Structure 1
């Protein structure tokens, strides 16, 4: 029988793409869902409800691997205290539920693989290249990612191989980061945010999915891995390339930081700052990026 991979967040942008990649790689896939969904020949659905701390234990007991992708969007809404709490809890509660099932039943997974973010390195802009050894920052994104990863380590303490994928901005067709910025650029109103000098680590959805697949199949992988192309892309470079693909040169002035802070509040940190991120550790596993050229990655994502 095919080995089973259980996904949290399986109905999201990354989850849907990863599901197809896993199936193509020969795995069976299960998905935790808040609503009742009919099983297909390729996907088994299990019910869970984070608000009621409920999970169908069979989802975990029948799994060989768990990939945890669930979590409220970081830039979906303004960062009120209530929103910050929702962002954090939506990432931690699923791990706590899965941990309780594993501990109660003495269940040993082959691996637990959790999403994380390059935001762990902090909302600052510097020329420093962040590796997996770089300490977590003390701001909201850094603290959130650190707590997220610490929760995953609880499962690692059960003797289960645990991998954390620190993800950059994900590029993909009509989804992810581009879903937010593309309409303005397509309409001819693209603009550089702030100084434009802030680094913008990125990865194409195809490469990210393959990294998760590798984390499943490679039993030597453990701990954190940066999932980002190391090409020193800045917000300015990204914006100019995207505008050029729509046939124009950016004509609007840079959007001043104070405007973004008024509109976005504290969340403006996520777009006004950014650091360089090293991909050396994941490449040492033998992983090869399919998309390392930003222009080609954008072309594949908008056409």
Structure 2
């Protein structure tokens, strides 16, 4: 099996993907900013890197065929202050820039890079439009981040490296992300919908996301931008209803008012209160099949 280098492999998605690929027989190298006390764990090898010092342990690249980039500060972790905006942008661009410089300078024979982006590329807006990969980008901060993120990833094309960019929806999984934050409330019968609840919520089950990375690794000539979203279009109200149902609960509580979110989170609230439909036909046309294709199927295992 090929060796894979994962940057950002210690978070929610990264942790799942490392486990998934290791079970498939891949040898996984993970870049970490923490001190490497245990350089190897369950077949996964950890290597130090430091963006501030522009440093990567060169041993991380030994035998590696593919790089998977998952880096980026959590976009919804707090208000978008001027400092926070810079952190969100730099955490995405600097990591890709450093990887690119190392691969170029040391002539590392990488065949493919799979990099992250988000459906925020299309902007935080609720419209009747259904966005495919060739749609124009939005004009807000989320869209600006994604455009810079993707531009940094496309540097690898100049080295002849096959470049795949995944515009991900909300990743749903039991161990983290949106589900981990909202499930405890739903388990108590609390309505988790916000605003008018009519905003669309592009999403993907983390198990399908793992399968999608597996699929891309097996497709030798696959490259370009792909929406990583489940086929079913749902609204925030739909999600809240299904989440409650997964715990055999119902709620008569109202949605959290939009003005409260705006007071708490400022401009960041737009990503919670707005959302568009995003289509997955391009990746399906390549032969990928979603298994968790409805929100009820995704959430059904979480019931008590």
TM-score (norm 1): 0.96
Which residue does 1:143 correspond to in 2? 144
Mapped contact 1:37–1:45 kept (Cα < 8 A): no
The aligned runs of 1:90-105 (5 Å cut-off) are 90-105=91-106
Deviations 1:157-197 (A, max 9, x none): 11100000111011111311111212221222224211111
SS in structure 2 at match of 1:44? strand
CA distance in 1 between counterparts of 2:140 and 2:128 reads 19
Q: Does 1:251 align with 2:241?
A: no
Equivalent residue for 2:266? 265
SS at match of 2:15: helix
The alpha-carbon deviation at position 302 of structure 1 amounts to 5.4
The alignment status of 1:82 with 2:97, answered yes or no, reads no
1:199 counterpart SS class: coil
Equivalents in 2 of 1:45, 1:122: separation in Å? 36
Match in the other structure for 1:6: 5
Change (3 A) 1:25 1:248: closer
Q: Are positions 1:235 and 2:236 aligned together?
A: yes
* Structure 2 segments unaligned to the other structure (5+ residues): none
Secondary structure in 2 aligned to 1:64? strand
Query: 1:4·1:64 contact (CA, 8 Å) conserved in 2?
Result: yes
**Matched residue of 1:215: which SS?**
helix
Cross-structure match for 2:291:
290
Q: Deviations over 1:189-224 (max 9, x none)?
A: 224211111000111001001111222221221111
Task: Indicate the residue corresponding to 1:190 in structure 2.
Answer: 191
- 2:208 counterpart of 1:207: yes
2:12–2:175: 8 Å Cα contact kept in structure 1? no
Distance 2:303 2:160 in 1: 43
Q: Residue 52 of structure 1: SS of its match in structure 2?
A: coil
In structure 1, the partner of 2:69 is 68
Confirm or deny: 8 A CA contact 2:117 2:168 kept in the other structure.
Answer: yes
In the TM superposition, what is the alpha-carbon distance from 1:29 to its structure 2 partner?
0.4
Q: Cα distance 1:15–1:145, how it changes in 2: closer, same or farther (>3 A)?
A: same
Counterpart CA distance in 2 for 1:84 and 1:206 is 30
Q: If the length of structure 2 is used for normalisation, what is the TM-score?
A: 0.95
- What runs of 5+ residues in structure 1 fail to find an aligned partner? none
Question: Aligned pair 1:225/2:226, yes or no?
Answer: yes
**Structure 2 counterpart of 1:46:** 47
Quote the RMSD (CA, aligned, Å): 1.4
The number of residues matched between the two structures is 302
> Separation in 2 of the partners of 1:251 and 1:157?
55
How far apart are the structure 2 equivalents of 1:231 and 1:41?
A: 36
Residue 158 of structure 1: aligned partner:
159
